Amino acid sequence: MSIISDSLKRIKPSPTIAVTQKARELRAAGKDVIGLGAGEPDFDTPENIKNAAIKAIKSGDTKYTAVDGTPALKKAIVDKFKRENKINYTTDQITVGTGGKQVLYNAFMATLNKGDEVIIPAPYWVSYPDMVLLAGGKPKMVKCTEEEGFKLTASKLKKAITKKTKWVILNSPSNPTGAGYSKKEIEDLAKVLIRNKKVHILSDDIYEHIRYDNFNFYTIAQISKLKDRTLTMNGVSKSYAMTGWRIGYAAGPKDIIKAIGKIQSQSTSNPSSISQAAAVEALNGNQGFIKKRSKAFKERRDFVVKSLNSIKGINCLTPNGAFYVFPSCRGLLNKKTKIKTDTEFVQKLLEQYNVAVVQGSAFGLDGYFRISYATSIKNLKKAMSRIKTFCENL
């Protein structure tokens, strides 16, 4: 008899982490691999944030903190929501976790019962369905087509809601597509949700500050009728290049926040005291570098989108934000190329041309692949050249 739990058997390892690890192994073996799989900014954490962490260490700020965040960080988060999103919260409506992923996991563990449904627009971040499964819930994927901009429509949301629906997940700008919901699109979804009073909304805003072409970010908690049913998750990983610091946070109804804290008290307890001190500076300090870095990301995006669309058989939409593109390779999946699936496509690209990307099927939509352009233009030029050669030689 296996000692492994049945709940663990329901899930699979993260495909994005698997691709990143495979790229590391190939590099260690001497291969010139260009990794475009990781969702991690290549910029360094800003100096003022690092200095705040050093100051915390020297000041002896190295002890346990409150389980779900220090008062200083919670206040900084409250101020951030008021300043940037025009949403008023109190500190007892805030939770801080070891990365945004833990916050989401805790939320599902704290709220889902067996059979509860969670609506997940596809393509989706790879961890959403597995987190729901671990918590005993049922992921309900709703496919959002390229023609729809990879975004959930009000009509599809309405059809997907049942008596068992507990949550709907919204991610804008999105991983893996970079698609962002406009204010009008959010308001259309809100009209459906206002009528379905038992459905809660989990808004994943982690890429809020990485956006382009004057795209105006809008989050659903700004609609007052839904604020009390919305858990808004964010963090410092992406916007502040602090992936390794592991700080995520959320704002929402007090009962959910309290339940999340209860879960965390019996698992990891508090996030790093030093990382929390750094996050306070991130949120309160100078924000000017964010626009500069977004400008650099935009230049990379424009180059990658143009390069991909010049390849016969590849089609790539221009994303509103994040640092991903989600091109279609459906035009190259045929008898002539002898490649049947996007998984085979990315495997051969890695094996033959040393470029690591992630198959679209890992994100719930077949016939696509995800590229992270959070790397240098030099690397992107080499990668695009290799992808073009690979596709032309199929």
**What CA–CA distance (Å, rounded) separates 97 from 211?**
25
Task: Give the pLDDT of residue 38.
Answer: 85
**Backbone CA torsion sign across 95, 96, 100, 102:** negative
**What CA–CA distance (Å, rounded) separates 179 from 363?**
14
Q: pLDDT tens track of the chain, all 394 residues?
A: 788 888 888 888 887 777 778 888 888 888 899 999 888 999 999 999 999 999 999 999 999 999 999 999 999 999 999 999 999 999 999 999 999 999 999 999 999 999 999 999 999 999 999 999 999 999 999 999 999 999 999 999 999 999 999 999 999 999 999 999 999 999 999 999 999 999 999 999 999 999 999 999 999 999 999 999 999 999 999 999 999 999 999 999 999 999 999 999 999 999 999 999 999 999 999 999 999 999 999 999 999 999 999 999 999 999 999 999 999 999 999 999 999 999 999 999 998 999 999 999 999 999 999 999 999 999 999 999 999 999 999 9
Domains 6-44+289-392 and 63-284 in one fold = no
Task: Give the pLDDT of residue 338.
Answer: 94
Whole-model pTM? 0.96
- Contact predicate 314/332, CB 8 Å: yes
Task: Give the pLDDT of residue 14.
Answer: 81
Task: Give the pLDDT of residue 325.
Answer: 98
Task: Give the pLDDT of residue 195.
Answer: 97
Task: Give the pLDDT of residue 378.
Answer: 96
Task: Give the pLDDT of residue 2.
Answer: 83
Task: Give the pLDDT of residue 48.
Answer: 98
Provide the CATH topology of domain 63-284: Aspartate Aminotransferase; domain 2 (3.40.640)
Task: Give the pLDDT of residue 141.
Answer: 98
Distances in Å between the Cα of 378 and the Cα atoms of 149, 306, 371, 392 are 29, 16, 15, 22
Q: Domain residues of the chain, as ranges? A: 6-44+289-392, 63-284
Taking CB atoms within 8 Å and a gap of at least 24, the contacts of 131-138 are 131/104, 131/105, 132/108, 133/7, 133/10, 133/11, 134/7, 134/8, 134/10, 134/11, 134/105, 134/108, 134/109, 135/105, 135/108, 135/109, 135/111, 136/7, 136/112, 137/108, 137/112, 137/113, 137/166, 138/164
Task: Give the pLDDT of residue 34.
Answer: 94
Task: Give the pLDDT of residue 13.
Answer: 81
Alpha helix positions (H), the chain: 6-9, 15-28, 47-58, 71-80, 100-111, 127-134, 154-160, 183-195, 224-227, 254-265, 273-284, 288-309, 342-353, 377-392
Task: Give the pLDDT of residue 17.
Answer: 79
Task: Give the pLDDT of residue 297.
Answer: 98
CATH class for domain 6-44+289-392?
alpha beta
**What CA–CA distance (Å, rounded) separates 174 from 385?**
26
> What is the DSSP track for 336-361?
TTT--SHHHHHHHHHHHH-EE-EEGG
**What CA–CA distance (Å, rounded) separates 8 from 2?**
12
Task: Give the pLDDT of residue 261.
Answer: 98
